[in-house]
């Protein structure tokens, strides 16, 4: 195992090279793409959750000055190929279609696509389209969607059950579940949505005489987008090119190619025109895939000392009408990971994915994170039920490092993690014991409600599922010695241009400034997994390492030939290839690069010209990372307002490439957890009408709601070459239960309980009224 810990570049908080352009307004987003003759699109969307389309009258819209086309299902759907965003990670089910045909299945479903000279004109035309829909009762309440007599979201399927996984309950588990100390709770996590700062969007150019389709898209995954656009339009994949330059956030929402992008591509192909569609914020809120929306009944069986004997989780995820990509089926991971970092011999589960007439579910930073939410909230409930402090409960049940590797009761192998160390570090930083004393004093003397909460988890950034586990890097040394690295990634805030350049500079022994990362363009990079699933450091990082190893070996071979030295005696440092121990005997990296390209007669006999390599990395099935979140809150008893006092994260992502970026990623996830727990709530009424369609009602956390986040680091290298682990999603996984537990801890002072989020004044005041 080789690691680059404490290298010249790896491990350093190098400032992000992306930031100067992003922070000065010089980023290039999809809406910055302006092409000659480009036309603008908008969608007419359903304002009914479920119903039959009686009439669509487009005549007045088509007659409006500046309108090029008004397309309905009849115009586009018969020409559409497979609409699956990916063929690799999809669940069978929802019959996908470009435009609603015959019926509508959620508010926001596209019915008509308008193409016009400007977005203004397109929206004027949209106002002129008359859509008549006979509305039917909609399926909104996921907990009753499987009841008898409930309408069926997708009549073709005959059921609202999209997917189900059931583990049998063993006799041993059954026995402990019938024991003396059984805690059972139902927890509900409300629907919220990723809300990238840059909404989705696409520009598609189709030139019939050439037969090429060229798209610019706000995407995390240009290669899968290319495949999807080829399938839907029928343009062969080698004639499709997808580019994504700067992407203003994705959080999973842009990982697979959604319906609207495919529909616009199909329309561009049909019309032979260049089309732009930029999603507006209202569309993003109502019709870009939603997330969370889970409910589970959880059971813990404990011995008399609070040790976990067995668990059962019965989980339902709301898949919406048209889930995207791997979700609407990712619920399985909720059950598989439910026992997390705790010792437990017995577990079983049932997890169901259920259709409703709502916006489809999609990936959102830790798509299965409800396993941590449900478990960590259960831990506090169980500890309270057993009269134990939640920290003590965790200390008693956490898997000790000495007992690793540990096989989870669901069969997953857990190793190279440090849940116990991060638990202790977080408790130490936040001053757990001192806070407990202060909490008692404030309540006794002033009646104030403060609380402390923990969220402990292990996160499997997985290489199990193709194509998520592999990446290909092309490392190309230019004749002047500078290096261009092509990756199939689609960065949307991760700082990949910085971190991957750190890795390559380290591996080649050259200067960081001499390495450039190219990504986000299917034409100039090899097929890759895109950016998501906390995979870049491990998977792209190690593909870079593998390619660098080849390049490095060749450079050394050339230098050995030039110096008449043995390759084994040479090393590369500071862009010089020198005989180890005799730095005066050296040849410059730039000289080797020049000779490799421009003085090829000096190369060793038979050596191929040039200096570049393509290499892949296939990740192991799991690269576990872990963290412990700890936070303290105060509740205003009179108003129900929750304030976060302190927030601490102790994390272990193995070897950090760039600690500043690691902390930035953690912070981003925590802020989303704060938003998701206290503010963000996508609300439907009983008929499926969305009630939170602007930022006036869908509330994001801002600087005034977010505390300073404090960090602790534990480093347990993963067994992959760089020793890194996935960490991009974790901040959003550990934070919701930590905040929930802190609020629950404060409410327990007055005997009040909570079982659902968001923790709004309504929820808090309701709890105090009901219980106290």
In angstroms, give the least distance from the CB of 689 to other proteins: 12
d(CA 646, CA 24): 32
Residue whose CB is less far from other proteins, 231 or 681? 681
Residue whose CB is less far from other proteins, 107 or 229? 107
In angstroms, give the least distance from the CB of 118 to other proteins: 8
Which chain residues interact with other proteins by CB under 8 A?
119-120, 123-124, 127, 280-282, 638-641, 679, 681, 683, 691-692, 694, 696-697, 699, 701-702, 704-705, 760-762, 765-766
d(CA 303, CA 643): 36
Residue whose CB is less far from other proteins, 705 or 710? 705
Residue whose CB is less far from other proteins, 318 or 591? 318
In angstroms, give the least distance from the CB of 173 to other proteins: 41
Nearest one of 463, 480, 757 to 611, comparing CA atoms: 480
Residue whose CB is less far from other proteins, 70 or 579? 70
Residue whose CB is less far from other proteins, 32 or 127? 127
Q: What tokens were used for 697?
A: 């009602």
Neighbours of 691 (CB within 10 A): 11
Residue whose CB is less far from other proteins, 404 or 683? 683
Residue whose CB is less far from other proteins, 192 or 552? 192
DSSP secondary structure string, 339-378? TTTB--SEEEEEEEEEE-SSPPB---SSTTTHHHHHHHHH
In angstroms, give the least distance from the CB of 489 to other proteins: 31
Nearest one of 269, 277, 218, 275 to 242, comparing CA atoms: 218
Task: List phi, psi (to 5°) of 328.
Answer: 75, 40
Q: What tokens were used for 653?
A: 């992502």
In angstroms, give the least distance from the CB of 766 to other proteins: 8
d(CA 772, CA 120): 55
The contacts of residue 359 (CB under 8 Å, 6+ apart) are 106, 107, 108, 193, 286, 287, 288, 289, 290, 320, 321, 682, 690
In angstroms, give the least distance from the CB of 43 to other proteins: 13
d(CA 347, CA 374): 14
d(CA 266, CA 233): 5
In angstroms, give the least distance from the CB of 65 to other proteins: 11
Residue whose CB is less far from other proteins, 437 or 639? 639
**Strands 51-57, 103-104: pairing kind:** antiparallel
In angstroms, give the least distance from the CB of 41 to other proteins: 13
Residue whose CB is less far from other proteins, 359 or 456? 359
Q: What tokens were used for 57?
A: 């009258």
**Strands 161-166, 346-355: pairing kind:** antiparallel
d(CA 503, CA 11): 9
In angstroms, give the least distance from the CB of 115 to other proteins: 15
Residue whose CB is less far from other proteins, 397 or 693? 693
In angstroms, give the least distance from the CB of 640 to other proteins: 7
Nearest one of 241, 321, 256 to 688, comparing CA atoms: 321
Query: Would you give the DSSP letter of residue 403?
Result: G
Nearest one of 164, 166, 157, 10 to 93, comparing CA atoms: 157
DSSP secondary structure string, 95-141? ---SS--SEE-STT-EEEEEEESSHHHHHHHHHH-EEEEEE------
d(CA 746, CA 734): 19
In angstroms, give the least distance from the CB of 697 to other proteins: 6
């Amino acid at each position: 195992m080789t690691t680059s810990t404490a290298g010249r570049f790896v491990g350093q908080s190098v400032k992000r090279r992306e930031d100067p352009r992003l922070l000065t307004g010089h980023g290039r987003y999809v809406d910055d793409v302006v092409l000659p003759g480009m036309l603008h699109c908008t969608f007419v969307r359903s304002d009914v959750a479920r119903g039959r389309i009686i009439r669509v009258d487009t005549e007045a819209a088509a007659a409006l000055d500046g309108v090029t086309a008004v397309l309905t299902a009849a115009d586009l759907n018969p020409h559409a190929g497979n609409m699956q965003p990916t063929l690799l990670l999809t669940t069978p089910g929802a019959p996908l279609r470009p435009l609603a045909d015959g019926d509508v299945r959620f508010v926001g479903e596209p019915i008509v696509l308008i193409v016009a000279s400007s977005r203004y004109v397109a929206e004027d035309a949209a106002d002129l389209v008359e859509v008549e829909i006979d509305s039917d009762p909609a399926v909104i309440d996921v907990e009753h969607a499987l009841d008898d007599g409930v309408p069926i979201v997708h009549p073709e399927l005959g059921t609202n059950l999209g997917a189900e996984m059931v583990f049998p309950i063993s006799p041993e588990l059954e026995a402990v579940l019938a024991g003396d100390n059984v805690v059972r709770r139902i927890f509900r996590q409300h629907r919220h949505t990723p809300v990238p700062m840059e909404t989705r969007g696409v520009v598609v150019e189709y030139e019939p005489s050439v037969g090429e389709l060229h798209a610019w898209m706000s995407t995390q995954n240009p290669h899968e987008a290319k495949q999807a656009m080829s399938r839907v339009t029928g343009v062969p994949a080698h004639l499709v090119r997808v580019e994504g330059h700067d992407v203003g956030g994705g959080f999973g929402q842009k990982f697979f190619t959604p319906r609207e992008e495919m529909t616009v591509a199909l329309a561009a192909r049909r019309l032979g025109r260049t089309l732009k569609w930029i999603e507006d914020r209202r569309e993003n809120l109502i019709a870009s895939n939603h997330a969370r929306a889970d409910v589970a009944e959880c059971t813990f069986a404990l011995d008399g000392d609070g040790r976990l004997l067995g668990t059962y989780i019965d989980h339902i995820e709301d898949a919406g009408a048209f889930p995207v990509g791997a979700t609407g089926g990712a619920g399985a991971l909720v059950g598989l990971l439910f026992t997390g970092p705790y010792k437990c011999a017995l577990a079983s589960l049932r997890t169901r994915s259920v259709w409703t007439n709502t916006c489809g579910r999609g990936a959102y930073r830790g798509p299965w994170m409800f396993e941590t939410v449900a478990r960590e909230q259960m831990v506090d409930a169980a500890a309270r039920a057993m009269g134990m402090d939640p920290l003590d409960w965790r200390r008693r049940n956490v898997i000790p490092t000495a007992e690793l590797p540990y096989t989870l009761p669901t069969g997953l192998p857990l190793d190279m993690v440090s849940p116990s160390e991060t638990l202790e570090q977080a408790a130490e930083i936040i001053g757990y014991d001192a806070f407990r004393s202060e909490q008692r004093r404030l309540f006794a003397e002033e009646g104030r409600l403060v609380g402390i909460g923990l969220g402990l988890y292990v996160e499997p950034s997985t290489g199990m599922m193709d194509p998520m586990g592999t990446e290909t890097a092309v490392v190309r040394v230019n004749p002047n010695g500078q290096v261009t690295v092509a990756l199939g990634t689609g960065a949307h805030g991760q700082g990949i241009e910085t971190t991957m350049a750190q890795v390559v500079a380290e591996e080649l022994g050259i200067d960081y400034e001499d390495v450039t990362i190219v990504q986000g363009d299917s034409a100039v990079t090899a097929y890759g997994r895109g950016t998501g699933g906390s995979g870049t450091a491990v998977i792209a990082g190690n593909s870079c390492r593998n390619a660098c190893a080849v390049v490095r070996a060749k450079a050394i071979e050339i230098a050995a030939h030039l110096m008449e030295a043995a390759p084994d005696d040479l090393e590369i440092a500071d862009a010089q290839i020198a005989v180890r121990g005799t730095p005066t005997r050296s040849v410059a990296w730039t000289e080797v690069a020049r000779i490799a390209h421009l003085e090829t007669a000096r190369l060793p006999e038979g050596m191929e010209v040039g200096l570049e390599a393509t290499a892949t990395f296939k990740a192991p099935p799991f690269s576990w990372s872990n963290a412990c979140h700890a936070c303290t809150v105060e509740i205003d008893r009179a108003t129900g307002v929750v304030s976060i006092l302190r927030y601490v994260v102790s994390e272990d992502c193995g070897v950090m490439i760039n600690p500043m970026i690691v902390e930035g990623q953690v912070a981003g996830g925590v802020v989303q957890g704060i938003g998701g727990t206290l503010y963000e709530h996508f609300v439907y009424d009983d008929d499926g009408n969305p009630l939170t369609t602007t930022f006036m009602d869908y509330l994001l956390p801002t600087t005034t709601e977010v505390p300073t986040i404090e960090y602790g680091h534990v480093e347990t290298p993963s067994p992959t070459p760089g020793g890194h682990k996935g960490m991009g999603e974790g901040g959003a996984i550990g934070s919701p239960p930590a905040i929930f537990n802190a609020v629950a801890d404060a409410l327990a002072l007055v005997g009040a309980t909570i079982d659902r989020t968001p923790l709004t004044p309504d929820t808090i005041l309701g709890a105090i009224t009901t219980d106290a």
